[in-house]
Structure 1
């Protein structure tokens, strides 16, 4: 399944990067609820997952918000609207959510369930006098509990990521930027613009609406898109360097300690870091190793049959083989 997005030349020039606090809230909830996995944030998720469950028991609005996330690859856009400028505050983001008409919110939530009946907890919200206000309340709870305490450090990671992408844009163009944005994204330049190809998404071809694309980094490995009116076109992608937020992440995988005597610490960290497809550059930033060292270790792991690499555009994407998965599973069970 592959999504194809046709982007015009004018839209490339109008594209930019921005920081969205409310995007971090939604991405955090996706991780804590198990909709997506984040290797870097695993220690944080393990500490906070129980707290989320307890909050959902006490706060039905939060439980309803969780229930509409990540179903069949679509998230309602109104719960994390793309910002108007290059940065925003959480109160500004929340005000944008608050302005969503209830009819629009219900349409987006209904799309999540694709014709199936809405859960009772969601129906109760939409039967109330102020459904959007209740979702806003749930987002505020999640912000205060899971994002606000670390927001200054998160924002620093996001700013560094954007600075890196800006430098890369100058030296390599959009080809270089998108080849490293996420392992599942490919970039195909054309005379009239380009086609962005995203694997693992619903199979469709879309022509981008005018206005360019907002690229929004997040520290929780979330990857999703906003294409529908009235929202600005946006791509939410995993920020580089997020592992620095949780220093224990590199050795947190339960198999790491058992693999170190067998293949060495660095190779064990690389192997356990491959929860999904990943590039050499992403491994370098996540594990704070040199590019040469990561390349050497990947070469050994490839020759041993534990990982495999596939060229995607200008980048090579690595993933564990079945043998690599089996080795991890056996080590984690010991």
Structure 2
């Protein structure tokens, strides 16, 4: 018997538009699965279908092998946490967190609220009005309120996308620690690759309503299932084994995706022409032309002049920072898989 969430061949349509096209995946007890993809890939529509907020045009959603067709949203025991948190402005922090515990005895409710606020790093905030909170604090209150309902599955729809990057990175850590501490399984929608890799046990990459690859973060990064997945993850250019060999990787696989740090400056490397230089924090990013004719980027610790970049540079491939692709087929070919 399947334990936890199972989605089989799910289809969601909005009129003539198919937003989710035959998706199958599972979320096991205590597991966090991220739905990763660009806008319009179908990830939020899939989450809403799991919650019961959107009807399925095909397929099924089940929990512990029980089909949830016809089960209303409020009886699924799932909780959705949205981007804006949707806190009640007329209630205090404690009032928001304790909303789902309204029928519990007062002492038990207050104790549980205090536990949850401590868990999300807001101990002592109970009496504050939510209108006085920062964006990051508000999202932590929303997380505590979601957990107060004791959900059997937490559904998070871009919960950090409205925050600046520094705060997002901090709150990803808070979310990760909180979910691990409580053991609540979660389906986490995001377009941010760093978020997905930081928080998820497995990541599903979606495009055009379909899952292109579902794998743990390391497998997904090291061995993208297709060129389309690799391009979405930030790989490029793509080199044949022979082209990779000229750059110092003699036993390269048939198709190599050069990662953001896949090219390194090396005195024993191949000389390449520098086309452009852009200053970055702590160094520069140089655009170079490889022997294959492809353009690629190289990060260096020295600040290079945008107006007068160096004419040439010696570089080689770092295999540990490159992706191994299954062949030289076209982007989005039939080699997508679930790992």
Task: Please classify the TM superposition score into its range, dividing by the shorter chain length.
Answer: under 0.3
Bigger fraction of residues in strand: 2
| TM-score normalised by length of structure 1 | 0.26
Bigger fraction of residues in helix: 1
- Which entry has the higher C-alpha Rg, 1 or 2? 2
